């Protein structure tokens, strides 16, 4: 906790006219959401005077002062917010977690040229597991202190001049361990401090004999040993030690590992089954990847192990190949004829972990058609269902998720929808604070008519913020869950605490929060489907969607 409830006495002052207060409060929130601070601030000043125990009005007032450069007024308002607490969301450029508010206070002090207070508040935020440390780098709010060593140490960008290559890696390794200790909400749930330190000592001793990429691989193993799914290094776009990626990507179907996409030169390999990596049978190779794949459950191994198998430096680190520039794969065509191919990796961009790609043909099922859209829907009146695909928990122009949710709610009433299918198969999370309008719309549909059926399609990729939505629907509705087990647990260690190592620029995330999306005694390792449906390679390459086929059968049976 960042505040203390005991000793915080409630005010005896209450508004004279509660209805008028409530109306003014609604107006103030609406004005804040539209960033109309000229009108919002006077209302919020009045509201906090009439009733001083609401952390949300203090938060809006403090943020409004910050946005209008009234820094000396912003500080006490934001400090009062910290005393009371708030969970407000939906305000542009405003983030309500306590450690984010501490950074806002630091920004105010920096603008007031009180550098010492600015540094102290940044330190407070870091002490309370502030999870966006790397955003301090090149942050315009701290221009006047950016050049100081004290600020660089807080931002994680301090680099001592004249260090040798090996000493730089030792410093990065030390920084990584310190971030695990600082950021992770429960760093020793799977390992111990002693075991982590032993790994660090082992890597340190080996650094002189390791390449940069081998050091990054060992760091990946270190972070993976902490356990749970929100712990990983993204081994690309760093100053040193970046990995390459093969020109093909894989997917682990229930009948094996297949090549599902490739660059132009290797298009002919799409659809081939992978038999071995180097001289190692493919299932053994996939199992070996577990040493760097921190995960909540084994569905994440099905999801992410194929990605890691496409990185030659990972294959070399696991002793699956001898040469990172020449990766040998044995593949088989549809008739079982095998051949061994040699592939070379290349630098790659990372825009999130891969999902099942769209087929090259024009005959794609709905779940593959609009994967680049964060959310979209179609109303299939012929088969009597509305299909809503939610691919990423992020806003999409020109329609916000709240606006989209209202449209869904209206369309359900307008078209008398009786069956709604929510597809979360591609959704591995995002900004969970924007989900509530969609949750409410789906609960409204479920409760509107006792004959209405809500189906939720899930799988290995259903993770993080998307999994929180799934857990809510599982707990609050009678939704029929279809597909594979989900990629996380109902109650899990999560959130993305970003880090960037100072010398190498290696970056990744560490779990910084605990999410209890279900009852405290819920120990499920995943949310299991009520209607289990798997995806075979034959179904995928034939443009079939077994999950939707099963749902349509249920709908027809229910009619």
What is residue 558's predicted lDDT score, i.e. its pLDDT? 81
pLDDT at 446 over 90: yes
pLDDT at 493 over 90: no
Tokens of 43: 């209302």
**What is the distance between the alpha carbons of residues 181 and 178, in angstroms, rounded to a whole number?**
5
Contact assessment for residue 259 and residue 250, using Cβ atoms and an 8 Å cutoff? yes
Tokens of 534: 């798997």
**pLDDT (tens digit per residue) in 60-107:** 999 999 999 999 999 999 999 999 999 888 887 777 789 999 999 999
Contact assessment for residue 501 and residue 507, using Cβ atoms and an 8 Å cutoff? yes
What is residue 91's predicted lDDT score, i.e. its pLDDT? 83
* 491-494/513-516 β-pairing: antiparallel
116, 214, 266 from 247: Cα distances, Å: 51, 21, 7
**pLDDT (tens digit per residue) in 2-41:** 788 888 899 999 999 999 999 999 999 999 999 999 999 9
**pLDDT (tens digit per residue) in 356-391:** 999 998 889 999 999 999 999 999 999 999 999 999
**Which residues make beta-bridge pairs with 257?**
252
Average pLDDT for 425-439: 95
Contact assessment for residue 280 and residue 288, using Cβ atoms and an 8 Å cutoff? yes
Average pLDDT for 198-223: 98
Tokens of 109: 């002090």
pLDDT at 505 over 80: yes
For residues 159-179, b (16+ Cβ closer than 10 Å) or e, as one string? eeeeeeeeebbbbbbebbbeb
Tokens of 105: 């206070």
Average pLDDT for 325-353: 95
The count of other CB atoms within 10 Å of the CB of residue 85 is: 19
162, 174, 222, 314 from 165: Cα distances, Å: 9, 14, 20, 22
Handedness of CA 79, 84, 89, 90 (dihedral sign): negative
What is residue 111's predicted lDDT score, i.e. its pLDDT? 97
Least confident of 52-61, 94-103, 311-320, 463-472: 94-103
* pLDDT > 70: percent of the chain: 100
Handedness of CA 460, 466, 470, 471 (dihedral sign): positive
pLDDT at 259 over 90: yes
Q: pLDDT band for position 327 (50/70/90)?
A: very high
Contacts of 347 (CB under 8 A, 6+ apart): 236, 242, 244, 245
Residue 105's closest CA among 126, 79, 133, 69? 79
18, 37, 52, 53, 104 from 23: Cα distances, Å: 9, 17, 17, 17, 28
Tokens of 145: 């202190």
Q: pLDDT band for position 496 (50/70/90)?
A: confident
**Which residues make beta-bridge pairs with 232?**
509
Residue 472's closest CA among 517, 519, 522? 517
**What is the distance between the alpha carbons of residues 318 and 316, in angstroms, rounded to a whole number?**
5
Residue 420's closest CA among 460, 392, 379? 379
Mean pLDDT over each residue of the chain, to the nearest integer: 95
What is residue 64's predicted lDDT score, i.e. its pLDDT? 97
Q: pLDDT band for position 486 (50/70/90)?
A: very high
* 419-423/453-458 β-pairing: parallel
What is residue 136's predicted lDDT score, i.e. its pLDDT? 94
Q: pLDDT band for position 165 (50/70/90)?
A: very high
**pLDDT (tens digit per residue) in 279-311:** 999 999 999 999 999 999 999 999 999 999 999
End-to-end CA distance of the chain: 52
pLDDT at 246 over 90: yes
Peptide bond into 438 cis (omega under 30): no
What is residue 353's predicted lDDT score, i.e. its pLDDT? 85
**pLDDT (tens digit per residue) in 111-152:** 999 999 999 999 999 999 999 998 999 899 999 999 999 999
pLDDT at 559 over 80: no
Contact assessment for residue 533 and residue 459, using Cβ atoms and an 8 Å cutoff? no
pLDDT at 328 over 90: yes
Average pLDDT for 255-264: 97
What is residue 101's predicted lDDT score, i.e. its pLDDT? 95
**What is the distance between the alpha carbons of residues 75 and 73, in angstroms, rounded to a whole number?**
6
What is residue 354's predicted lDDT score, i.e. its pLDDT? 84
Query: What is the pTM (predicted TM-score) of this model?
Result: 0.93
């Amino acid at each position: 906790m960042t505040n203390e409830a005991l000793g915080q006495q409630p005010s005896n002052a209450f508004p004279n006219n509660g209805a008028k207060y409530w109306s003014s409060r609604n107006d103030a929130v609406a004005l804040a959401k539209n960033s109309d601070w000229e009108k919002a601030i006077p209302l919020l000043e009045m509201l906090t005077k009439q009733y001083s125990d609401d952390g949300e009005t203090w938060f809006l007032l403090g943020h409004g002062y910050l946005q209008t450069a009234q820094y000396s007024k912003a500080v006490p308002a934001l400090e009062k917010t910290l005393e009371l607490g708030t969970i407000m969301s939906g305000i542009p450029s405003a983030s309500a977690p306590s450690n984010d508010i501490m950074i806002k206070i630091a920004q105010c002090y920096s603008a007031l040229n009180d550098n010492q207070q600015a540094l102290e508040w940044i330190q407070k935020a870091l002490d309370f597991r502030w999870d966006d440390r790397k955003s301090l780098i090149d942050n315009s709010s701290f221009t006047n202190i950016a050049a100081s060593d004290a600020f660089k140490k807080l931002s994680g960008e301090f680099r001592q001049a004249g260090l040798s290559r090996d000493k730089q890696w030792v410093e990065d390794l030390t920084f990584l361990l310190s971030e695990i200790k600082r950021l992770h909400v429960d760093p020793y749930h799977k390992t111990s401090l002693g075991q982590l330190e032993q790994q660090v000592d082992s890597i340190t001793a080996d650094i002189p004999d390791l390449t940069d990429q081998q050091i990054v691989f060992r760091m990946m193993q270190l972070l993976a040993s902490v356990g749970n799914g929100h712990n990983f290094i993204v081994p690309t776009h760093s100053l040193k030690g970046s990995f390459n990626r093969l020109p093909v990507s894989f997917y682990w179907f229930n009948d094996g590992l297949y090549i599902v996409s490739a660059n132009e030169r290797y298009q002919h390999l799409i659809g081939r089954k992978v038999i071995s990596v180097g001289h190692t049978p493919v299932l053994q190779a996939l199992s070996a990847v577990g040493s760097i794949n921190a995960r909540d459950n084994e569905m994440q191994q099905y999801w992410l192990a194929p990605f890691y198998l496409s990185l030659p430096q990972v294959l070399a680190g696991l002793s699956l190949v001898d040469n990172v520039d020449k990766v040998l794969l044995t593949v088989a065509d549809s008739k079982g004829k095998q051949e061994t191919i040699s592939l070379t990796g290349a630098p790659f961009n990372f825009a999130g972990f891969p999902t099942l790609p769209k087929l090259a043909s024009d005959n794609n099922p709905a779940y593959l058609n609009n994967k680049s859209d964060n959310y979209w829907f179609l109303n299939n009146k012929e088969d009597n269902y509305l299909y809503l695909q939610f691919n990423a928990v992020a806003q999409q122009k020109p329609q916000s998720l709240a606006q989209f949710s209202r449209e869904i709610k209206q369309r359900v009433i307008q078209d008398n929808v009786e069956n709604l299918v929510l597809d979360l198969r591609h959704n591995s999370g995002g900004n969970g604070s924007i989900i509530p309008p969609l949750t409410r719309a789906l609960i409204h549909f479920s409760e509107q008519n006792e004959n209405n059926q809500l189906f939720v399609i899930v799988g290995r990729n259903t993770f993080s913020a998307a999994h929180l939505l799934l857990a809510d629907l599982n707990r609050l509705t009678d939704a029929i869950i279809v597909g594979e087990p989900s990629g996380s647990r109902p109650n899990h260690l999560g959130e993305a605490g970003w880090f960037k190592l100072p010398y190498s620029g290696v970056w990744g995330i560490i779990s910084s929060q605990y999410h209890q999306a279900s009852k405290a005694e819920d120990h499920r390792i995943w949310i299991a489907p009520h209607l289990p449906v798997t995806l075979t390679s034959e179904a995928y390459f034939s443009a079939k969607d077994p999950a939707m086929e099963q749902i349509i059968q249920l709908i027809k049976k229910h009619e």
